[in-house]
Structure 1
Amino acid sequence: MTIFLLAVAFLYALFTLTLWITWLRLPAIQIDADAHVKPFISVVIPVRNEADNIGKLLQDLCQQSYPHFEVIVADDSSTDATLSIVERMAHRVPYALRPLSLTNERSASPKKRAITQSITLATGELIMTTDGDCRVGPDWLAAFATCYEKTGAKLISGPVTFTTERTVFDSLQTVEFSSLIGTGACTMALGIPTMCNGANLCYVKEVFGEVGGFTGVDHLASGDDEFLMHKIANRYPDSIRFLKSDEAIVQTQPHQSWSAFYNQRKRWASKWRAYDSWLPSLLAVFIFLSNTAPLLAVLGWLLNFLNGNVALVVIGLKLVPEFLFLRQVLVFLQKKSSVGVIPLTQLIYPLYVVFFGLAAQRKGYIWKGRKLN
């Protein structure tokens, strides 16, 4: 047991330090105001019951410094005023805004259906996806257009964080989410992409068609972002990029209830068994074991079958490199105020990972008022 715990802790420390160094070396892309960047972008926003938020996002898009874009809002049978808000704003905004009303048919993956139908209408060279409860800065599209022109990437993943934290629960979500964003960015930089987020994702429309879109994974409710990324990475291994730019940051709202948080994280955790690539599945198992190790170390110490010094080494190998990495990502995401919550997150996170690792084995969760598998 001692050798196993030390081995897992050492490997996790090595893994996290690699992420930290990779993040520090990840180049930032600066917008070149004099560059003639002109790829036309179709912004696709799948929504359901976002009446409280969609107007703010559409207003943000009015402020974009990059003019070559259209917006398609795919409304998935909202029961509130979402669609009527979009239709009213279509006559007021300075860009082409196209409301798309989806039929209320049963689908295993409503979000993939919304994105696919939107792409059939899109006229842009690039597809940019985000969510109805997100907020974007004025240079958001300019940053992605610049990155595309400079790198020729087929898929570009952008940074996502939460809006202002009002509670400890909000801050905990911010820290936890930063670990996902940072890990996804670094694995892309290392040429082994594992995760991305559909709230801030850009890809070439033609490539979406080349890889068959969501065909093969359209029976899964989750994964409109990661499964597509893996399909594109298989065809274009060197064309997946993370956009490390302040201007590219998208903000979304933290969950206000444990129930909403639970259902989202269970939805995310449930997809790992469906990956064709072995790497994301291996990473999921490795993270599970790495977070189980300190729990077992503490338990072993309390039950007197593990030396206290060994338990401290196992815990230290997890906490120190993790803190260095998370702090760096949070500073980039302009969330320096959440750095102080890292230790609390580290205390809770092993329990969280073990809980959702087990919860993911059971099917079924609620998404946008619907029960999905």
Structure 2
Amino acid sequence: MELFLLVLFYFFLAVVAIQMVYYLFIFGKFSFGKPQETKEKHIPVSVLVCAKNEEENLKKLIPLLAKQDYPNFEIVIIDDASYDNTRFLVEEFQNEIPNLKLVKVENNEAFWGNKKFALTLGIKAATKEYLLFTDADCFPTSDLWIKEMTSHFTMHKTIVLGYGAYEKESGLLNKLIRFETLLTATQYFSWAKLGKPYMGVGRNLAYKREEFFKTNGFINHMKIRSGDDDLFINEASTAGNTDICYSPESFTYSAPKTTFGEWFTQKRRHASTAKHYKAFDKNQLALFYLSQFLFLVTPIALLALQYQWIIVLCAIGLRYISAWISLGFSAGKLQEKDVMYWYPILEIILIFTQLNVFFRNLISKPVTWK
């Protein structure tokens, strides 16, 4: 028993060390980084929105996009075989908004219901060299969204990762959703700053057209229904061509799920996509999430038997303080400070939710793009 506890004790300390490396040295690259400076570029931009039965959301989104404070852009709405009035709504708006374009996508037997097929047609129809993406159920937080996102393009930086937030509402579920979004953004922003970009979110993402054709578009993962954003970035992004944008004026917001079941289904879909990442990206994500779980369970026996309990409690406290500070700075940058008041509770719920997602995905496939 003594030998087992000794091994478990040192194993626990190793887990704590791994967690602190992530929070202080990896995530800290973003959390503790300097504020960004905006340099206006005014390059021609196509804003692309893929919409399937999004009539009501487009009534709100299109006017917001049309009011963007930017001199040279077009709005490309991709109607992905909608059976509501999406197409007719966009055609009505075209009478008022000259830079609004409609791309009509019919169901194709080979790509039935595949969002990537619809996006490919939209990208080919866009007339500008720089492409900015969001979803129909999102809205930009300001009329400077295009200006902020495009300001990070340079001769070499041809991919820009933005922050897609969720609206703040009351309730624990809303805080859990926003905490998970904060943690995910902290991860992909940090790794991008470290020169290992691995994902972005389609709610707020920009890249130069040539990057799309350089990778032959979505062809390498066309059969995977999800991943038009993160799988593309995982394939196309490099240390040299990717930048991040996190100024508050560049955020987009979406309405969060209102039931745990809906959100859980969404997380299953996201998790099923991550297994197709590059080996390094899968391994670093697996190490982080596994060490998170082990941090919760390994000290139980040590504390129950009071084995080196003072050191164990100090290690637990040190890890929580480090994580709280790191994520706290990140939350300040991404305007999510309120979720950090609930941090330990939200983290524990999220860890066991992700564990549930992992096992559920082993036995059945999640629902994909509608």
* TM-score with structure 2 setting the length: 0.89
Q: Deviations over 1:209-239 (max 9, x none)?
A: 0121111111112221222112223xx5411
User: For residue 151 of structure 2, what is the aligned residue in structure 1?
Assistant: 146
How far did 1:108 drift? 7.3
User: For residue 284 of structure 2, what is the aligned residue in structure 1?
Assistant: 283
C-alpha distance in structure 2 between counterparts of 1:313 and 1:47, whole Å? 51
SS at match of 2:68: coil
User: For residue 243 of structure 1, what is the aligned residue in structure 2?
Assistant: 245
User: For residue 50 of structure 1, what is the aligned residue in structure 2?
Assistant: 54
C-alpha distance in structure 2 between counterparts of 1:340 and 1:104, whole Å? 49
Amino acid aligned to 1:197: V
Do structure 1's residue 38 and structure 2's residue 39 form an aligned pair? Answer: no
Q: Deviations over 1:8-29 (max 9, x none)?
A: 2211111111134312454444
User: For residue 257 of structure 1, what is the aligned residue in structure 2?
Assistant: 259
Do structure 1's residue 197 and structure 2's residue 198 form an aligned pair? Answer: no
1:268 aligned to which of 256, 261, 270: 270
How far did 1:301 drift? 4.5
How many residues align? The count is 362
Q: 1:110 to 1:278 in 2, by over 3 A?
A: same
Q: 1:262 to 1:106 in 2, by over 3 A?
A: farther
SS at match of 1:38: coil
SS at match of 2:49: strand
User: For residue 168 of structure 2, what is the aligned residue in structure 1?
Assistant: 164
User: For residue 319 of structure 1, what is the aligned residue in structure 2?
Assistant: 320
C-alpha distance in structure 2 between counterparts of 1:28 and 1:362, whole Å? 44
Q: Deviations over 1:83-112 (max 9, x none)?
A: 332222222225333243332646377221
Structure showing greater radius of gyration is: 2
Unmatched runs of 5 consecutive residues or more in structure 2: 1-7
Do structure 1's residue 292 and structure 2's residue 293 form an aligned pair? Answer: yes
How far did 1:290 drift? 1.3
Q: 1:101 to 1:325 in 2, by over 3 A?
A: same
How far did 1:312 drift? 2.9
Q: 1:87 to 1:367 in 2, by over 3 A?
A: farther
User: For residue 76 of structure 2, what is the aligned residue in structure 1?
Assistant: 72
Amino acid aligned to 2:153: Y
User: For residue 102 of structure 1, what is the aligned residue in structure 2?
Assistant: 106
Q: 1:352 to 1:246 in 2, by over 3 A?
A: same
User: For residue 14 of structure 1, what is the aligned residue in structure 2?
Assistant: 21
C-alpha distance in structure 2 between counterparts of 1:320 and 1:194, whole Å? 27
C-alpha distance in structure 1 between counterparts of 2:312 and 2:229, whole Å? 38
Q: 1:309 to 1:78 in 2, by over 3 A?
A: farther
Amino acid aligned to 1:143: E
Do structure 1's residue 341 and structure 2's residue 325 form an aligned pair? Answer: no
Question: Larger deviation: 261-270 or 1-10?
Answer: 1-10
Question: Does the 8 Å contact 2:167/2:256 carry over to 1?
Answer: yes
Q: Deviations over 1:51-78 (max 9, x none)?
A: 3312211111122111211122122233
Question: Does the 8 Å contact 2:54/2:86 carry over to 1?
Answer: yes
C-alpha distance in structure 2 between counterparts of 1:184 and 1:340, whole Å? 23
Q: 1:297 to 1:230 in 2, by over 3 A?
A: same
Q: Deviations over 1:104-151 (max 9, x none)?
A: 6463772211211111111111111111110112001111222114x6
User: For residue 359 of structure 2, what is the aligned residue in structure 1?
Assistant: 358
C-alpha distance in structure 1 between counterparts of 2:311 and 2:115, whole Å? 47
Amino acid aligned to 1:9: V
Question: Does the 8 Å contact 2:46/2:132 carry over to 1?
Answer: yes
How far did 1:172 drift? 1.4
C-alpha distance in structure 1 between counterparts of 2:206 and 2:366, whole Å? 27
C-alpha distance in structure 2 between counterparts of 1:108 and 1:290, whole Å? 40
How far did 1:30 drift? 3.5
User: For residue 3 of structure 2, what is the aligned residue in structure 1?
Assistant: none
Identity of aligned residues (%): 23
How far did 1:345 drift? 0.8
Question: Does the 8 Å contact 2:107/2:113 carry over to 1?
Answer: no
How far did 1:349 drift? 2.3
How far did 1:303 drift? 5.8
Q: Deviations over 1:323-366 (max 9, x none)?
A: 12222222222233333222321231221232222223234222
